[in-house]
Amino acid sequence: MSGKWLRLTLVAQIIFFVAWAGVEEYGRANAVEFLLETRPVDPRDLLSGHYMTLRYTSLDPEGSVEGVRAAVRLEFEKEVTVDGRTWPVWHAVEKVEPGRVGDRSLSSTGGWADATVTGSRLDFGIDRFYFSEARKEELNSLRGGSFYVLATLGGDGTLRVKDLVWDREPPTP
Amino acid sequence: MIRNEKKWLEARLEEWVGERLIAGDQAEAIRVYQGEKPERQWLSFFGLLVGVGALSVGIGTILVVSYNWERIPPVLRQLGFLLALAGVAEGMARSAGNRIAGPALGVIWVLLPLAGIGLWGQVYQLSGDAFTPLAVTLMLALPVVWIGRHASAAAAHALVFVWTIFVGVLEPGSWISMRGADALRTSWLAVVAVVLWAAMLHQTRRLSGPAVTLLLWMAFLVFMFTIAGNWTGFDIRHEGIHFVVAGALTMIFWVGEGVLGLSGRRVADVGWFATACFLYVLSFFHHGVGIGGGLETAGLYYAAVLSVAGVVCLARADMDEVAGAGGPHVARVLLALPWILSALLLGGDRHEAVGYLANFVLVVFCLYTMHSAVLRADRRRVNAAVFVLGLLMLTRIMDYFGSLLTSGSAFLVLGFLFLAMAYGLNRGRRHVLEQVERGGEA
């Protein structure tokens, strides 16, 4: 009897993980890709694996919001070429209370991202970049240059990290 | 025959003779027959070779997987996790009557969802608070605990619960947070927290027994103290006060026998375990931690009152179960040491010294425990002390050498070091157990 219920529990857990993966994959399939300028720092965590903490300089526009949620308008800022490939770079231009946003439609040049207001900063849920043991040495050897996060923005306002992109050459003024 | 079997047989023979199922000379004949058989070695040469081989294969597998982690497609990593989950679940379903495999798989299954959430987080590069994954793990593991009904799995669940609720309350951003802009604003959330504690205490009492329940009670009291310090006007300010309160509670619970209906043996077990845990936590302070704050607070007076109560309780507690060399007074001092070390945290910038002292005290505490266990012929306590000593050595080795492990050969060297340590500890343990056996026969 308990064996049957244990197997049902297993099925429920598998459904949970598969459904979660489905939601993430669906969100990425219908999202717009762009770069965000970042400056990574690299603490190590034995429990979570290797990851970098990401800090963003262009994701906290001026203005103030009441409450714990905010909608942040991201728009195309410039193009950069890294390793022969040209990417759009986006930045934040405005933040308001979510209820004040009229048209939330997403385009290839801009969209609204949801954030949580934590103290004085905005939390988009893109603060970490996990990397493997093999990639650790490569990332640790980086000293200068420009760092970008390859991010996706979904129609539901969810920002996600896809990869870390860097250019060893300092940007030309 | 291994020692546990010998002990079991002796108990059964006494029982059968007492019940007049067999005669005394028959029992003696059985003893002689079994005594003439060569004793099975716990750690034979063959076993050692197998262990080294298994360790090498294990380390090799971990290295190959970790160095190629990025080359393994995410979907394969996820499938691997789901297969592991299914394997553990099926193993648990098939090992209902097994006293070792069932509980071990139960504990693994309780913790596996957390590993899965971590993996999904890595695959999809998700950031966020620590509370949500822990809370989801608790919910996913709940049916495993109640259907499997293994005491160890329920204890693991209780541990995750304590971790979850402390993280949730203290971490800014979680929905039950009491810190920062998201501070707990409505009293109904406090009621929810208390209801959750009550439910967990009920579950632990039903499934894990009184010892784990007692530890959960201690965690609850520290939690309430934290709530009082963060949410109400009750002022704590100095983080070290939390440690003093926990140290005092450890002493107070030594006299929990009458209140909680525990046997003297259970209370001694819990007191020993809580003291060892507390010293282990303090042993990390040698890294240097930023504990400080004002001392002229209501929290300090509360801690002082609890401390006096703790000292009185310890002074009145029956120390016969734990006394070794030096008698009950030395035992009392040893059991008061976590509280004394916590009190040192309040006296300025001595945190690293407290950490070093805690390491030393924990070693002395374990050696003292072994000595007293020999006097009382208590094999269980010897094993517990050896385990804690091994854990402390392992922790400090990882502390100092863990960050150097960038190559496979370093892993292998460390693996052999652990093997040597395990062998040495096991030899020492066997020697002490032989002393216990001789003491028991005398």
Q: Which of A5-14, B268-277, B425-434 has the highest mean pLDDT?
A: A5-14
Q: Does B130 touch chain A (CB under 8 A)?
A: no
Give the per-residue pLDDT at A46. 43
Q: Which of B118, B147, B181 sits opposite A118 (nearest CB)?
A: B181
Q: Are residues A24 and A41 in the same domain?
A: no
Contact A125 B92 (CB under 8 A): no
Query: How far lies B300's CA from each of B249, B250, B253, B292, B307, in Å?
Result: 15, 17, 20, 13, 10
Q: Which of A9, A131, A132 sits opposite B147 (nearest CB)?
A: A9
Q: Does A68 touch chain B (CB under 8 A)?
A: yes
Q: How far apart are CA B368 and CA B180, in angstroms?
A: 45
Run of H or E residues at A116: strand A110-118
Residue A102: inside a domain, yes or no?
Answer: yes
For chain B, the average pLDDT equals 78
The first and second tokens of residue A18, run together, are 């598969």
Q: Are residues A26 and A37 in the same domain?
A: no
Q: Which of A82-91, B96-105, B375-384 has the highest mean pLDDT?
A: A82-91
Give the per-residue pLDDT at B442. 45
B389 closest CA partner among B230, B280, B231: B280
Lowest mean pLDDT among A129-143, B353-367, B387-401: A129-143
ipTM of the complex: 0.81
Residue A145: inside a domain, yes or no?
Answer: yes
Q: Does A1 touch chain B (CB under 8 A)?
A: no
Mean pLDDT for B330-340 is 85
B430 closest CA partner among B36, B3, B7: B3
- Structural domain that includes position A153: 33-167
Q: Are residues A23 and A43 in the same domain?
A: no
Looking at beta carbons, which residues of chain B come within 8 Å of A127?
127
Q: Are residues A17 and A78 in the same domain?
A: no
- Nearest-neighbour CA in chain A from B318: distance (Å): 41
Give the per-residue pLDDT at B138. 94
Residue of B nearest to A51 (CA): B122
Query: What pLDDT band is residue A41 in, cutting at 50, 70 and 90?
Result: low
Give the per-residue pLDDT at B83. 95
B110 exposed, middle or buried (CB, 10 Å; 0-12, 13-18, 19+)? buried
Give the per-residue pLDDT at B24. 84
Q: Find out whether B391 and B427 touch, Cβ atoms under 8 Å.
A: no
B35 closest CA partner among B367, B441, B319: B441
Q: Are residues A63 and A124 in the same domain?
A: yes
Residue A78: inside a domain, yes or no?
Answer: yes
Q: In this predicted model, what pLDDT tens digit does every residue of B35-88 receive, in sequence order?
A: 766 555 444 555 555 666 666 666 666 666 766 777 788 899 999 999 999 999
A4 exposed, middle or buried (CB, 10 Å; 0-12, 13-18, 19+)? exposed
Q: Are residues A104 and A44 in the same domain?
A: yes
Asked if residue B213 has pLDDT above 70, the reply is: yes
Give the per-residue pLDDT at B117. 92
Residue A172: inside a domain, yes or no?
Answer: no
Query: How far lies B72's CA from each of A43, B66, B115, B127, in Å?
Result: 24, 10, 17, 22
Q: How many domains does chain A have?
A: 2
Q: pLDDT > 70: what percent of chain B?
A: 71
Give the per-residue pLDDT at B346. 83
Q: Are residues A55 and A125 in the same domain?
A: yes
Q: How far apart are CA B6 and CA B375, in angstroms?
A: 20
Q: Which of A16, A117, A128 sits opposite B127 (nearest CB)?
A: A128
Q: Are residues A37 and A11 in the same domain?
A: no
CB pairs under 8 A between A and B: 103
Contact B172 A126 (CB under 8 A): no
- Nearest-neighbour CA in chain A from B78: distance (Å): 9
Q: How far does Cα B194 stand from its chain's mean position?
A: 24
Looking at beta carbons, which residues of chain A come within 8 Å of B148?
2, 6
Residue A173: inside a domain, yes or no?
Answer: no
Q: How far apart are CA B286 and CA B438, in angstroms?
A: 40
Q: Which of B90, B125, B172 sits opposite A161 (nearest CB)?
A: B125
For chain A, the average pLDDT equals 82
